[in-house]
Structure 1
Protein backbone atom coordinates (compact mmCIF):
# COMPACT_ATOMS: atom_id res chain seq x y z
CA UNK A 1 0.00 0.00 0.00
CA UNK A 2 2.82 2.37 0.93
CA UNK A 3 4.66 1.73 -2.36
CA UNK A 4 1.49 2.44 -4.35
CA UNK A 5 1.02 5.75 -2.54
CA UNK A 6 4.64 6.72 -3.14
CA UNK A 7 4.37 5.84 -6.82
CA UNK A 8 1.14 7.81 -7.16
CA UNK A 9 2.74 10.83 -5.46
CA UNK A 10 5.79 10.56 -7.72
CA UNK A 11 3.70 10.40 -10.90
CA UNK A 12 1.61 13.34 -9.74
CA UNK A 13 4.75 15.39 -9.11
CA UNK A 14 6.12 14.55 -12.56
CA UNK A 15 2.84 15.56 -14.18
CA UNK A 16 2.73 18.84 -12.24
CA UNK A 17 6.33 19.62 -13.18
CA UNK A 18 5.48 19.09 -16.85
CA UNK A 19 2.39 21.28 -16.53
CA UNK A 20 4.55 24.03 -15.06
CA UNK A 21 7.00 23.91 -17.97
CA UNK A 22 4.16 23.93 -20.51
CA UNK A 23 2.68 27.02 -18.85
CA UNK A 24 5.41 29.28 -20.21
CA UNK A 25 4.58 30.89 -23.56
CA UNK A 26 5.95 33.55 -25.88
CA UNK A 27 3.27 35.88 -24.56
CA UNK A 28 4.16 35.05 -20.93
CA UNK A 29 7.80 33.89 -20.85
CA UNK A 30 8.19 34.67 -17.12
CA UNK A 31 5.86 33.81 -14.26
CA UNK A 32 5.80 34.07 -10.48
CA UNK A 33 5.09 31.16 -8.16
CA UNK A 34 1.69 32.67 -7.35
CA UNK A 35 0.79 32.99 -11.04
CA UNK A 36 1.61 29.33 -11.68
CA UNK A 37 -0.15 28.14 -8.53
CA UNK A 38 -3.34 29.99 -9.45
CA UNK A 39 -3.40 28.99 -13.12
CA UNK A 40 -2.69 25.31 -12.39
CA UNK A 41 -4.80 25.13 -9.22
CA UNK A 42 -1.83 23.92 -7.18
CA UNK A 43 -0.51 24.92 -3.78
CA UNK A 44 2.21 27.58 -3.69
CA UNK A 45 4.47 25.30 -1.67
CA UNK A 46 4.07 22.53 -4.26
CA UNK A 47 4.87 24.86 -7.14
CA UNK A 48 7.82 26.37 -5.28
CA UNK A 49 9.27 22.94 -4.52
CA UNK A 50 8.88 21.74 -8.12
CA UNK A 51 10.42 24.94 -9.50
CA UNK A 52 13.41 24.51 -7.20
CA UNK A 53 13.89 20.96 -8.50
CA UNK A 54 13.55 22.07 -12.13
CA UNK A 55 15.96 24.95 -11.51
CA UNK A 56 18.57 22.57 -10.09
CA UNK A 57 18.59 20.74 -13.44
CA UNK A 58 18.56 23.89 -15.55
CA UNK A 59 15.02 23.53 -16.86
CA UNK A 60 13.91 26.84 -15.32
CA UNK A 61 15.79 29.93 -14.18
CA UNK A 62 14.77 32.43 -11.51
CA UNK A 63 15.16 36.15 -12.07
CA UNK A 64 16.36 37.43 -8.65
CA UNK A 65 15.14 40.98 -9.38
CA UNK A 66 11.53 40.07 -10.20
CA UNK A 67 11.31 36.65 -8.47
CA UNK A 68 9.87 35.34 -11.72
CA UNK A 69 10.83 32.07 -13.39
CA UNK A 70 11.51 31.39 -17.06
CA UNK A 71 12.51 28.29 -19.01
CA UNK A 72 16.19 27.39 -18.81
CA UNK A 73 18.77 26.30 -21.37
CA UNK A 74 18.27 22.59 -20.67
CA UNK A 75 15.06 22.88 -22.68
CA UNK A 76 17.10 23.94 -25.72
CA UNK A 77 19.16 20.75 -25.57
CA UNK A 78 16.02 18.59 -25.57
CA UNK A 79 14.50 20.68 -28.36
CA UNK A 80 17.59 20.18 -30.53
CA UNK A 81 17.49 16.43 -30.01
CA UNK A 82 13.79 16.25 -30.90
CA UNK A 83 13.87 18.51 -33.97
CA UNK A 84 16.99 16.84 -35.37
CA UNK A 85 15.34 13.45 -35.14
CA UNK A 86 11.93 14.29 -36.57
CA UNK A 87 11.93 12.60 -39.97
CA UNK A 88 9.49 15.05 -41.49
CA UNK A 89 11.84 17.97 -40.81
CA UNK A 90 14.68 16.34 -42.75
CA UNK A 91 12.46 15.19 -45.60
CA UNK A 92 10.59 18.46 -46.01
CA UNK A 93 13.37 21.03 -45.59
CA UNK A 94 14.59 21.39 -49.20
CA UNK A 95 11.05 21.15 -50.60
CA UNK A 96 9.73 23.81 -48.22
CA UNK A 97 12.62 26.13 -49.05
CA UNK A 98 11.91 25.73 -52.75
CA UNK A 99 8.21 26.39 -52.13
CA UNK A 100 9.00 29.59 -50.22
CA UNK A 101 11.31 30.75 -53.01
CA UNK A 102 8.52 30.20 -55.54
CA UNK A 103 5.56 31.74 -53.69
CA UNK A 104 7.55 34.24 -51.59
CA UNK A 105 5.49 33.54 -48.49
CA UNK A 106 6.15 31.59 -45.28
CA UNK A 107 5.60 27.80 -45.25
CA UNK A 108 4.89 25.41 -42.38
CA UNK A 109 4.72 21.72 -41.59
CA UNK A 110 2.07 20.90 -38.97
CA UNK A 111 0.64 17.86 -37.20
CA UNK A 112 -2.69 17.29 -35.46
CA UNK A 113 -2.65 16.97 -31.67
CA UNK A 114 -6.02 16.81 -29.99
CA UNK A 115 -8.10 19.75 -31.20
CA UNK A 116 -5.03 21.79 -32.12
CA UNK A 117 -2.36 21.76 -34.76
CA UNK A 118 1.30 21.97 -33.75
CA UNK A 119 3.93 23.44 -36.06
CA UNK A 120 6.92 21.13 -36.48
CA UNK A 121 8.91 23.07 -39.04
CA UNK A 122 8.85 26.54 -40.58
CA UNK A 123 10.62 28.38 -43.37
CA UNK A 124 10.18 32.15 -43.38
CA UNK A 125 10.02 34.27 -46.49
CA UNK A 126 11.98 37.53 -46.78
CA UNK A 127 9.04 39.59 -45.57
CA UNK A 128 7.05 37.32 -43.24
CA UNK A 129 3.73 38.44 -41.83
CA UNK A 130 3.90 38.84 -38.07
CA UNK A 131 1.64 35.98 -36.94
CA UNK A 132 3.84 34.67 -34.15
CA UNK A 133 4.10 31.12 -35.49
CA UNK A 134 7.06 29.11 -34.32
CA UNK A 135 8.07 25.49 -33.92
CA UNK A 136 5.88 24.05 -31.17
CA UNK A 137 3.19 26.73 -31.54
CA UNK A 138 -0.37 25.44 -31.21
CA UNK A 139 -3.34 26.77 -33.17
CA UNK A 140 -6.99 25.60 -33.30
CA UNK A 141 -7.98 23.18 -36.07
CA UNK A 142 -11.20 24.95 -37.06
CA UNK A 143 -9.59 28.33 -37.75
CA UNK A 144 -6.55 27.24 -39.79
CA UNK A 145 -6.08 25.70 -43.23
CA UNK A 146 -3.65 23.15 -41.79
CA UNK A 147 -6.15 22.19 -39.12
CA UNK A 148 -8.99 21.73 -41.58
CA UNK A 149 -6.93 19.68 -44.02
CA UNK A 150 -5.67 17.41 -41.23
CA UNK A 151 -9.05 17.00 -39.54
CA UNK A 152 -10.77 16.24 -42.85
CA UNK A 153 -8.74 13.03 -43.17
CA UNK A 154 -9.27 11.75 -39.62
CA UNK A 155 -11.66 9.07 -38.40
CA UNK A 156 -15.27 9.92 -37.60
CA UNK A 157 -14.47 9.56 -33.90
CA UNK A 158 -11.73 12.20 -34.06
CA UNK A 159 -13.90 14.55 -36.12
CA UNK A 160 -16.80 14.22 -33.68
CA UNK A 161 -14.49 14.94 -30.76
CA UNK A 162 -13.44 18.22 -32.38
CA UNK A 163 -16.97 19.18 -33.42
CA UNK A 164 -18.23 18.67 -29.87
CA UNK A 165 -15.76 21.22 -28.52
CA UNK A 166 -16.58 24.92 -28.49
CA UNK A 167 -15.61 26.43 -31.85
CA UNK A 168 -14.36 29.79 -30.69
CA UNK A 169 -14.88 32.71 -33.07
CA UNK A 170 -11.50 34.41 -33.44
CA UNK A 171 -12.59 36.56 -36.40
CA UNK A 172 -15.84 37.21 -38.28
CA UNK A 173 -14.89 34.54 -40.85
CA UNK A 174 -14.15 31.81 -38.29
CA UNK A 175 -16.40 28.78 -38.72
CA UNK A 176 -18.18 28.37 -35.39
CA UNK A 177 -21.11 26.19 -36.48
CA UNK A 178 -20.35 22.43 -36.23
CA UNK A 179 -22.49 21.54 -39.25
CA UNK A 180 -20.84 24.18 -41.42
CA UNK A 181 -17.43 22.93 -40.32
CA UNK A 182 -18.41 19.36 -41.20
CA UNK A 183 -19.53 20.53 -44.66
CA UNK A 184 -16.22 22.33 -45.02
CA UNK A 185 -14.26 19.20 -44.05
CA UNK A 186 -16.14 17.11 -46.63
CA UNK A 187 -15.31 19.67 -49.31
CA UNK A 188 -11.67 19.86 -48.20
CA UNK A 189 -11.21 16.09 -48.36
CA UNK A 190 -12.73 15.96 -51.83
CA UNK A 191 -10.75 18.84 -53.33
CA UNK A 192 -7.43 17.95 -51.68
CA UNK A 193 -6.62 21.27 -50.04
CA UNK A 194 -7.97 23.75 -47.48
CA UNK A 195 -7.93 27.52 -47.18
CA UNK A 196 -8.30 30.00 -44.36
CA UNK A 197 -9.22 33.62 -45.05
CA UNK A 198 -8.90 35.85 -42.00
CA UNK A 199 -10.32 33.14 -39.74
CA UNK A 200 -7.65 33.15 -37.04
CA UNK A 201 -6.01 36.55 -37.44
CA UNK A 202 -7.20 39.70 -39.16
CA UNK A 203 -5.57 40.17 -42.55
CA UNK A 204 -3.92 36.72 -42.58
CA UNK A 205 -4.75 34.00 -45.11
CA UNK A 206 -3.37 30.52 -45.82
CA UNK A 207 -3.67 27.41 -47.97
CA UNK A 208 -2.73 23.86 -46.92
CA UNK A 209 -2.46 20.39 -48.44
CA UNK A 210 -2.16 16.94 -46.79
CA UNK A 211 1.07 14.98 -46.43
CA UNK A 212 0.82 11.17 -46.38
CA UNK A 213 3.16 8.58 -44.88
CA UNK A 214 4.23 5.28 -46.49
CA UNK A 215 0.84 3.72 -45.66
CA UNK A 216 -1.05 6.50 -47.44
CA UNK A 217 -2.38 7.95 -44.18
CA UNK A 218 -2.50 11.74 -43.81
CA UNK A 219 -0.17 12.58 -40.93
CA UNK A 220 1.10 16.11 -41.66
CA UNK A 221 0.14 19.21 -43.59
CA UNK A 222 2.04 21.74 -45.68
CA UNK A 223 0.74 25.28 -45.57
CA UNK A 224 1.65 28.68 -46.96
CA UNK A 225 0.66 31.75 -44.96
CA UNK A 226 0.68 35.42 -45.88
CA UNK A 227 -1.17 38.75 -45.70
CA UNK A 228 -4.46 38.98 -47.59
CA UNK A 229 -3.30 42.01 -49.59
CA UNK A 230 -0.37 39.99 -50.96
CA UNK A 231 -1.77 36.50 -51.33
CA UNK A 232 -4.97 34.86 -52.61
CA UNK A 233 -5.30 31.43 -50.93
CA UNK A 234 -7.61 30.16 -53.70
CA UNK A 235 -5.32 31.16 -56.56
CA UNK A 236 -5.03 27.93 -58.63
CA UNK A 237 -1.31 28.47 -59.29
CA UNK A 238 -0.60 28.86 -55.56
CA UNK A 239 -2.82 25.91 -54.60
CA UNK A 240 -1.09 23.67 -57.15
CA UNK A 241 2.35 24.61 -55.81
CA UNK A 242 1.32 23.73 -52.25
CA UNK A 243 -0.20 20.42 -53.38
CA UNK A 244 2.94 19.65 -55.40
CA UNK A 245 5.13 20.28 -52.34
CA UNK A 246 2.89 18.06 -50.19
CA UNK A 247 3.06 15.29 -52.79
CA UNK A 248 6.88 15.48 -52.99
CA UNK A 249 7.23 15.31 -49.21
CA UNK A 250 4.80 12.36 -49.15
CA UNK A 251 6.99 10.57 -51.69
CA UNK A 252 10.03 11.21 -49.49
CA UNK A 253 8.10 9.53 -46.65
CA UNK A 254 7.50 6.47 -48.86
CA UNK A 255 4.03 7.25 -50.22
CA UNK A 256 3.97 6.54 -53.96
CA UNK A 257 0.22 6.82 -54.44
CA UNK A 258 -0.79 10.33 -53.39
Structure 2
Protein backbone atom coordinates (compact mmCIF):
# COMPACT_ATOMS: atom_id res chain seq x y z
CA UNK A 1 0.00 0.00 0.00
CA UNK A 2 2.80 2.42 0.86
CA UNK A 3 4.47 1.76 -2.49
CA UNK A 4 1.23 2.48 -4.36
CA UNK A 5 0.67 5.69 -2.40
CA UNK A 6 4.21 6.83 -3.12
CA UNK A 7 3.81 6.07 -6.82
CA UNK A 8 0.63 8.16 -7.02
CA UNK A 9 2.20 10.97 -5.00
CA UNK A 10 5.27 11.03 -7.26
CA UNK A 11 3.24 11.10 -10.49
CA UNK A 12 1.04 13.90 -9.16
CA UNK A 13 4.14 15.77 -7.99
CA UNK A 14 5.75 15.57 -11.44
CA UNK A 15 2.49 16.49 -13.19
CA UNK A 16 2.30 19.72 -11.15
CA UNK A 17 5.97 20.62 -11.60
CA UNK A 18 6.81 23.50 -13.93
CA UNK A 19 10.20 21.97 -14.73
CA UNK A 20 11.94 18.57 -14.39
CA UNK A 21 12.75 17.56 -10.82
CA UNK A 22 15.89 15.98 -9.39
CA UNK A 23 16.13 13.01 -7.05
CA UNK A 24 16.96 15.47 -4.26
CA UNK A 25 13.79 17.43 -5.05
CA UNK A 26 11.70 14.27 -4.85
CA UNK A 27 13.16 13.11 -1.55
CA UNK A 28 12.90 16.51 0.14
CA UNK A 29 9.49 17.55 -1.21
CA UNK A 30 7.75 14.20 -0.80
CA UNK A 31 9.62 12.93 2.24
CA UNK A 32 10.57 9.65 0.56
CA UNK A 33 13.89 8.00 1.56
CA UNK A 34 16.53 8.47 -1.13
CA UNK A 35 16.95 4.76 -1.92
CA UNK A 36 13.19 4.25 -2.17
CA UNK A 37 12.74 7.36 -4.31
CA UNK A 38 15.49 6.29 -6.69
CA UNK A 39 14.07 2.74 -7.03
CA UNK A 40 10.61 4.16 -7.69
CA UNK A 41 11.90 6.60 -10.30
CA UNK A 42 13.80 3.85 -12.12
CA UNK A 43 10.71 1.63 -12.17
CA UNK A 44 8.64 4.46 -13.64
CA UNK A 45 11.37 5.33 -16.16
CA UNK A 46 11.59 1.71 -17.34
CA UNK A 47 7.82 1.54 -17.76
CA UNK A 48 7.57 4.85 -19.65
CA UNK A 49 5.67 6.81 -17.00
CA UNK A 50 8.65 9.05 -16.26
CA UNK A 51 11.44 10.34 -18.51
CA UNK A 52 14.94 11.51 -17.47
CA UNK A 53 16.60 14.52 -19.08
CA UNK A 54 19.69 14.20 -21.28
CA UNK A 55 21.96 14.20 -18.23
CA UNK A 56 19.84 11.62 -16.44
CA UNK A 57 19.62 13.78 -13.32
CA UNK A 58 16.15 15.32 -13.61
CA UNK A 59 12.81 13.74 -14.28
CA UNK A 60 9.45 14.62 -15.81
CA UNK A 61 6.32 12.75 -16.85
CA UNK A 62 6.79 10.35 -19.74
CA UNK A 63 4.85 9.49 -22.87
CA UNK A 64 2.78 6.82 -21.14
CA UNK A 65 1.28 9.42 -18.82
CA UNK A 66 0.35 11.48 -21.87
CA UNK A 67 -1.39 8.50 -23.47
CA UNK A 68 -3.41 7.81 -20.35
CA UNK A 69 -4.38 11.47 -20.01
CA UNK A 70 -5.44 11.66 -23.64
CA UNK A 71 -7.48 8.48 -23.26
CA UNK A 72 -9.29 9.96 -20.26
CA UNK A 73 -10.34 13.00 -22.26
CA UNK A 74 -11.29 11.00 -25.35
CA UNK A 75 -13.63 8.78 -23.33
CA UNK A 76 -15.12 11.50 -21.12
CA UNK A 77 -18.88 11.76 -21.69
CA UNK A 78 -19.01 15.52 -21.08
CA UNK A 79 -16.20 16.19 -23.55
CA UNK A 80 -17.95 14.06 -26.14
CA UNK A 81 -21.22 15.93 -25.58
CA UNK A 82 -19.63 19.38 -25.71
CA UNK A 83 -16.95 19.01 -28.38
CA UNK A 84 -19.05 19.59 -31.48
CA UNK A 85 -20.66 22.74 -30.10
CA UNK A 86 -17.27 24.00 -28.91
CA UNK A 87 -15.80 23.47 -32.38
CA UNK A 88 -18.66 25.33 -34.00
CA UNK A 89 -18.66 28.42 -31.79
CA UNK A 90 -14.88 28.65 -31.82
CA UNK A 91 -14.91 28.53 -35.61
CA UNK A 92 -17.74 31.07 -35.82
CA UNK A 93 -16.21 33.61 -33.45
CA UNK A 94 -12.53 32.86 -33.96
CA UNK A 95 -11.86 32.81 -30.23
CA UNK A 96 -10.56 30.26 -27.74
CA UNK A 97 -13.18 28.07 -26.07
CA UNK A 98 -12.46 26.04 -22.93
CA UNK A 99 -14.25 23.21 -21.16
CA UNK A 100 -13.19 22.55 -17.57
CA UNK A 101 -14.18 20.56 -14.49
CA UNK A 102 -14.04 21.48 -10.82
CA UNK A 103 -11.74 19.12 -8.92
CA UNK A 104 -11.22 19.98 -5.27
CA UNK A 105 -10.44 23.69 -5.21
CA UNK A 106 -8.99 23.75 -8.72
CA UNK A 107 -10.29 23.94 -12.25
CA UNK A 108 -8.95 21.20 -14.56
CA UNK A 109 -9.11 21.95 -18.28
CA UNK A 110 -10.62 19.09 -20.27
CA UNK A 111 -10.82 20.40 -23.83
CA UNK A 112 -9.78 23.48 -25.78
CA UNK A 113 -10.59 24.95 -29.18
CA UNK A 114 -7.84 27.41 -30.06
CA UNK A 115 -8.41 30.90 -31.44
CA UNK A 116 -7.48 31.46 -35.07
CA UNK A 117 -5.91 34.80 -34.11
CA UNK A 118 -2.18 35.05 -33.52
CA UNK A 119 -2.83 36.84 -30.22
CA UNK A 120 -4.32 34.16 -27.98
CA UNK A 121 -3.77 32.64 -24.56
CA UNK A 122 -4.55 28.93 -24.30
CA UNK A 123 -4.89 26.58 -21.33
CA UNK A 124 -4.14 23.07 -22.54
CA UNK A 125 -6.11 20.02 -21.32
CA UNK A 126 -4.80 18.90 -17.95
CA UNK A 127 -3.81 22.36 -16.77
CA UNK A 128 -5.02 23.29 -13.29
CA UNK A 129 -5.83 26.74 -11.92
CA UNK A 130 -7.32 27.95 -8.63
CA UNK A 131 -11.10 27.93 -8.97
CA UNK A 132 -11.60 31.35 -7.37
CA UNK A 133 -9.36 33.09 -9.91
CA UNK A 134 -11.04 31.93 -13.13
CA UNK A 135 -14.36 32.59 -14.81
CA UNK A 136 -14.88 28.84 -15.15
CA UNK A 137 -14.35 28.32 -11.44
CA UNK A 138 -16.54 31.24 -10.39
CA UNK A 139 -19.36 30.01 -12.64
CA UNK A 140 -19.29 26.72 -10.73
CA UNK A 141 -18.75 28.15 -7.26
CA UNK A 142 -21.78 30.40 -7.78
CA UNK A 143 -23.93 27.26 -8.03
CA UNK A 144 -23.06 26.27 -4.47
CA UNK A 145 -24.10 27.59 -1.05
CA UNK A 146 -21.46 29.93 0.34
CA UNK A 147 -20.74 27.61 3.28
CA UNK A 148 -19.84 24.83 0.83
CA UNK A 149 -17.72 27.18 -1.28
CA UNK A 150 -15.95 28.57 1.79
CA UNK A 151 -15.05 25.06 2.95
CA UNK A 152 -13.80 24.20 -0.54
CA UNK A 153 -11.45 27.17 -0.85
CA UNK A 154 -7.85 27.13 0.42
CA UNK A 155 -7.20 29.03 3.64
CA UNK A 156 -5.32 31.76 1.79
CA UNK A 157 -6.46 32.91 -1.65
CA UNK A 158 -3.22 33.47 -3.53
CA UNK A 159 -3.20 36.12 -6.25
CA UNK A 160 -2.20 35.15 -9.79
CA UNK A 161 -2.43 38.77 -10.98
CA UNK A 162 -3.13 42.13 -9.35
CA UNK A 163 -6.79 41.63 -10.31
CA UNK A 164 -7.32 38.28 -8.57
CA UNK A 165 -9.95 38.41 -5.83
CA UNK A 166 -8.22 37.30 -2.65
CA UNK A 167 -10.71 38.56 -0.06
CA UNK A 168 -13.45 36.10 0.90
CA UNK A 169 -16.12 38.76 1.41
CA UNK A 170 -15.35 40.26 -2.01
CA UNK A 171 -15.47 36.81 -3.61
CA UNK A 172 -18.83 36.10 -1.98
CA UNK A 173 -20.20 39.34 -3.43
CA UNK A 174 -18.77 38.47 -6.84
CA UNK A 175 -20.44 35.05 -6.82
CA UNK A 176 -23.76 36.71 -6.00
CA UNK A 177 -23.31 38.93 -9.07
CA UNK A 178 -22.53 35.83 -11.17
CA UNK A 179 -25.85 34.28 -10.12
CA UNK A 180 -27.73 37.49 -10.89
CA UNK A 181 -26.40 37.97 -14.41
CA UNK A 182 -26.23 34.25 -15.30
CA UNK A 183 -22.55 34.05 -16.24
CA UNK A 184 -19.11 34.68 -14.75
CA UNK A 185 -16.40 37.09 -15.83
CA UNK A 186 -12.68 36.70 -15.27
CA UNK A 187 -11.39 40.25 -15.56
CA UNK A 188 -7.65 39.62 -15.98
CA UNK A 189 -7.72 37.62 -12.74
CA UNK A 190 -5.76 34.67 -14.07
CA UNK A 191 -3.95 36.29 -17.03
CA UNK A 192 -3.23 39.97 -17.61
CA UNK A 193 -4.85 41.26 -20.80
CA UNK A 194 -7.40 38.44 -20.98
CA UNK A 195 -11.12 38.55 -20.24
CA UNK A 196 -13.05 35.32 -19.91
CA UNK A 197 -16.78 34.70 -19.91
CA UNK A 198 -18.01 31.41 -18.44
CA UNK A 199 -21.19 29.47 -17.74
CA UNK A 200 -21.79 26.31 -15.75
CA UNK A 201 -23.14 23.23 -17.54
CA UNK A 202 -26.06 21.73 -15.64
CA UNK A 203 -26.82 18.27 -16.98
CA UNK A 204 -29.61 17.74 -14.47
CA UNK A 205 -29.99 14.65 -12.32
CA UNK A 206 -30.07 16.70 -9.13
CA UNK A 207 -26.31 17.07 -8.83
CA UNK A 208 -24.48 20.38 -8.58
CA UNK A 209 -22.74 21.27 -11.88
CA UNK A 210 -19.08 20.26 -12.08
CA UNK A 211 -18.27 21.44 -15.62
CA UNK A 212 -18.19 24.89 -17.18
CA UNK A 213 -17.68 26.40 -20.63
CA UNK A 214 -15.86 29.64 -21.45
CA UNK A 215 -14.71 32.08 -24.09
CA UNK A 216 -11.21 33.52 -23.43
CA UNK A 217 -10.55 36.72 -25.36
CA UNK A 218 -7.79 39.36 -25.29
CA UNK A 219 -9.28 42.66 -24.15
CA UNK A 220 -7.93 44.42 -27.23
CA UNK A 221 -10.46 42.46 -29.34
CA UNK A 222 -13.44 43.38 -27.19
CA UNK A 223 -15.91 46.25 -27.26
CA UNK A 224 -19.39 46.51 -25.74
CA UNK A 225 -21.17 45.12 -28.80
CA UNK A 226 -18.82 42.18 -29.28
CA UNK A 227 -18.92 41.38 -25.57
CA UNK A 228 -22.72 41.26 -25.63
CA UNK A 229 -22.71 39.00 -28.70
CA UNK A 230 -20.06 36.71 -27.22
CA UNK A 231 -22.08 36.24 -24.03
CA UNK A 232 -25.23 35.53 -26.05
CA UNK A 233 -23.35 32.90 -28.09
CA UNK A 234 -21.98 31.34 -24.90
CA UNK A 235 -25.43 31.05 -23.32
CA UNK A 236 -26.84 29.52 -26.49
CA UNK A 237 -23.93 27.05 -26.64
CA UNK A 238 -24.63 26.02 -23.04
CA UNK A 239 -28.28 25.32 -23.87
CA UNK A 240 -27.28 23.25 -26.92
CA UNK A 241 -24.86 21.14 -24.89
CA UNK A 242 -27.08 20.35 -21.90
CA UNK A 243 -30.44 19.96 -23.65
Query: TM-score normalised to the size of structure 1?
Result: 0.85
Match of 2:198 among 208, 211, 216: 208
1:235 is aligned, of 221, 227, 235, to: 227
Bigger drift between 191-200 and 120-129 goes to 120-129
If you compute each CA radius of gyration, which structure gives the higher value, 1 or 2? 1
Single out whichever of 144-153 and 161-170 deviates more from structure 2: 161-170
Q: Deviations over 1:24-66 (max 9, x none)?
A: 2586342211122222232222211111221232211233524
Runs of 4+ in 1 over 4 A off after TM superposition: none
Other structure's SS at 1:174 match: coil
Say what the alpha-carbon RMSD is for the aligned residues.
Answer: 2.1
1:18 aligns with 2:8: yes
Q: In the alignment, is the contact (CA less than 8 A) between 2:20 and 2:60 conserved in 1? A: yes
Partner of 1:142: 132
Structure 1 residue matching 2:136: 3-state secondary structure:
helix
Mark the runs of 5 or more structure 2 residues left unpaired by the alignment: none
Q: Which of 193, 203, 211 is the aligned partner of 1:220?
A: 211
Matched pairs, number: 241
Alpha-carbon distance change, 202 to 156 in structure 1, aligned in 2, over 3 angstroms:
closer
The answer (yes or no) to whether the contact 1:205–1:232 under 8 Å persists in 2 is no
177-186 or 22-31: bigger deviation: 22-31
In structure 1, C-alpha distance between the alignment counterparts of 2:46 and 2:138, rounded to whole Å? 42
- 1:145-195 Cα offsets, whole Å, 9 max, x none, are 001001111244431214562111222221111011011111212221000
Describe the superposition over 1:188-235 as per-residue Cα deviations: whole angstroms up to 9, x where unpaired.
Answer: 122210001111121111000110113264221100112111135992
Corresponding residue for residue 42 of structure 1: 32
TM-score, normalization: structure 2?
0.90
1:245 equivalenced with 2:237 (yes/no): yes
